[in-house]
Structure 1
């Protein structure tokens, strides 16, 4: 069976269908739903496959305390890369959304405690989509620093050192090794006001200021 291509109208309808199931999220772009918790974005990308005939529901997080020109897919989690074609959208999307809701690393609605956010990062570390993701540890350290929680910053640094110390050298080659990486993170984490300013600027630059926003409790 030849699968139908997704038109602009199809993508708009699919986005609306998912948004109805996750009303706490806002529409960032067609096929992309997001809201903000303090210094991070969380959302669901309905990732359109290269043939433009199906999409893959993907939960993700983006760190706003690191300047970057686009929204990244940190902690990307899919339902075993299950894709949904236009022909099966009506039959499958509610079921997939229900499964995704049960397996979220970070809640998509309501204010969220810092402990719960960090727990989501740790859960991802236990079963990552692919190995050697140093940015997950950076999230933990810098989000804790944004909150001004020096205890959690140190815990995250200790965890990063423990978990990454025996990683292959090439992972850290471009940044001078594990110690250099951790020292840079410690320096960044020492200035929570600077991190908050970076976050504020990123909210504007990425044009997410009109999206729903929640509080991170610390």
Structure 2
């Protein structure tokens, strides 16, 4: 196996599904499970050359309309040198078991027993704080998702925690790096709070996204 032929893709997807039995095959090269209003997944991204792929653990919030399944909080499998690991289709059988074990070890959110909603939300918070400390892009989407996921899950304590952190971060985010449609911190927080106060509307969005992305058969844990 040297290229990502249809047969190769089926074999790779099946083998990774076997390594992570707590997940379902959603589409070729992509495993998913649902924790309430959020998806947790393992995406096997093919390289542009077609002879390699990368394994990435991620989540995706269903509380906002989005055209694709995003790779939020993504953790790409890293080699011992700390660089993204290139997994070769030609070496799949020899390499994938070790790769799956290492992705499991490296993932901040459990890929075995499902993480709790609180663990997922707080990982969003940790990522947002870390991004700010490193001078990376403001974590506007991460903070939005953390608040809305918590609201849909009925965790008012986490909603309040998220809104406080969002307020703190928004005070220091550089305006030059904020979204083009950003009006003000106050307007953003007001909209976020309004959406968080209507969990029924959030679940309508979740249910619509489940249908849109054909997630009906993805297990709920």
**TM-score past 0.5 threshold:** yes
Q: CA RMSD in A?
A: 2.0
Task: Say if 1:172 and 1:178, in contact at 8 Å, map to a contact too.
Answer: no
Matched, 1:131 2:140: no
**Where does the alignment leave 5 or more consecutive residues of structure 1 unmatched?**
none
Aligned partner of 1:22 in structure 2 is 20
1:83 aligns with 2:86: yes
Q: TM-score, normalised by structure 2?
A: 0.88
Q: Distance in 2 between matches of 1:14 and 1:111?
A: 23
Segment of structure 1 superposing worse, 109-118 or 93-102: 109-118
**Cα drift, residue 50 of structure 1:** 1.2
Q: Is the 8 A contact 1:169 1:177 kept in 2?
A: no
Q: Map 1:49-88; keep pairs closer than 5 Å.
A: 49-79=47-77, 80-88=83-91
**Displacement, 1:173?**
3.5
Higher relative contact order (CA 8 A, sep 6+): 1
In the alignment, which residue of structure 2 is the partner of 1:114?
117
| Superposed displacement of residue 105, structure 1 | 3.0
Tell me whether 131-140 or 43-52 shows the greater mean CA deviation. Answer: 131-140
Following superposition, the deviation at residue 200 of structure 1 comes to 1.1
Q: Deviations over 1:31-55 (max 9, x none)?
A: 1111111001110000011121110
Residue 154 of structure 1 corresponds to which residue in structure 2? 160
* 5+ long unaligned stretches in structure 2: 78-82
Q: TM-score, normalised by structure 1?
A: 0.89
SS in structure 1 of the partner of residue 66 of structure 2: coil
SS at match of 2:137: coil
